[in-house]
Every structure is written in C-alpha cells, then in structure tokens.
Amino acid sequence: MSKITQIEGKAIPIEGNDIDTDRIIPARYLKEITFTNMGQYPFYDERFDAEGKPKGHPFDLPLFQGANILIVNQNFGCGSSREHAPQALMRWGIRAIIGESFAEIFAGNCTMLGIPTATVNHGEMMKLQTLVKEQPQMKFMLDLEKKTLLAEEKEYLQFDIHESKRNALVNGTWDSTGLLLANAAKTAEVAKKLPYVSGF
C-alpha cells in the first residue's frame, strides 16, 4: 500500500459548520451496490436544481475544477456512517481535507481510504478560506511529515492531525486489513479469554 506523505494541488472551499453526510451524498444513491459511480454524486442536491442544471456550487465552478484539497469548517461529515460520503469526495478528486473539526466516524472512513483529515483553528481557517476564494489557482502542498501546509512553496501554516492517522498514512498502513490479519493468533487468544465468546 502506498505511503501518503505529500499532497499537492489546488484547494476548494465548502463553507459551513455541521455539514452532514446526507448532504455530502443523499441516501438515494446508497442503493447502488458498488462505489463505482459515487464520484457523480457529491453534494448532489446542493449542486443541481430540479431539472438537473448546476446552481453554481463550488464543485461545478470552472475555477475549482481539478482541485483536490477540500477546505471545510467544523464537524464536517457528521451524521450517518456511510463511507459513500468520502468515497464520493475521493472519486470526484479530493485527496485531502483540511477543516476545523471532523466527525469521528467520517474521519476514520477517510483514513481507511488514504485521505488525511487535517485540522486548523478557527482563525487560521478564516484566513485560509479567504485565500482560496481570492486566489483559487494557488498551489498548495500538504506535508504530512512536517504537518505543514505550503502555499506556492512557502510555509503557510502548521496543521494538526491525529497522530495515529498520520502514522497510518505516512507509513502506508492506512488500509488496516493487513495489519489486523497479521495478528490472527493474538486475536484468537483474546477471543478465548472472553467469557461470552465461548458461550460462558
């Protein structure tokens, strides 16, 4: 599995606190039994009117096309545990998310897909959002080893990221199945000691 240490690209801002996963991907798209088409649906109901015409959402504005670093506010991804939400963002092109805070399950799902969820404080976020809106062509680089965001190759800010998530990404162990499988014997020992596993 690949090590994820640096993510370079343009940023795209989605403003607002408490943006839930129903807004990121409406439940009707969860009826598909694969994630294949999810890239067509992120923020669908906020992007398109009843006739399917774009309403000018950042995901459809020409100046943000090709962006891969999503900039959000607080408690992003709250609500439903649907992995379809980060899958939809990833398949649209998002490779990293910077926010003020993330809902727990959403952040875990992102890590499983190799998407870092970096956090900055409110003041820094206000500055960053303004910068991205004013200069959408700005090239950023998220450096997970130094926990630094560069703007046009100059250090712009230091971010936080949960240390275990950062380790998983930079060491290439974010898809955890392999790590867990390697401990099959230890798992069996733990199971054996749990009274309910053997039916008491």
Provide the binding-site residues for other proteins, judged by CB under 8 A: 15-18, 20, 22-23, 26-28, 30-35, 45, 74-75, 78-84, 86, 101-105, 108-109, 112-113, 122, 162-165, 167-168, 171, 173, 175-177, 179-181, 183-184, 186-187, 190-191, 193-197, 199-200
- Closest to other proteins by CB, 31 vs 154, is 31
Output phi, psi for 50, to 5 deg: -60, -30
Q: Are 69 and 11 in contact (CB under 8 A)?
A: yes
- Closest to other proteins by CB, 10 vs 23, is 23
CA dihedral sign, ordered 52, 53, 56, 58: positive
- Closest to other proteins by CB, 120 vs 141, is 120
CA 29/CA 81 separation, integer angstroms: 14
CB of 63 to other proteins, least distance (A): 23
Residue whose C-alpha is closest to residue 75's, from 45, 46, 106: 106
Quick count: other Cβ atoms within 10 Å of Cβ 37? 12
The SS3 call for residue 90 is: helix
- Closest to other proteins by CB, 92 vs 106, is 106
CB of 16 to other proteins, least distance (A): 6
